Amino acid sequence: MDSQPVFFVGNIPIYGNLILSPMDGLSERPFRSLVRKSGSAMSYTEFINAIDVLADIHRIQKKIAFYEFERPVVFQIFDDDPDRILNAAQKLTLFQPDIIDLNLGCSAHHVASRGAGAGLLPHPQKIARIISNLVKHLPVPVTAKIRLGWDEHSRNYLEIARIIEDCGAQLIAVHGRTKVQGYTGRADWDAIAEIKSKLHIPVIANGDVQTVADIQHIRNQTQCDGVMIGRAALSNPWIFSSRDRSEVPPHEVKSWIEAHLHEMIAFHGEELGVILFRKYLKRLLTPYQLSEDILLALLTATDLKILHHLINDVFNTLIEP
Residues with a known catalytic role: 106
Phi, psi of 154 (to 5 degrees): -140, 55
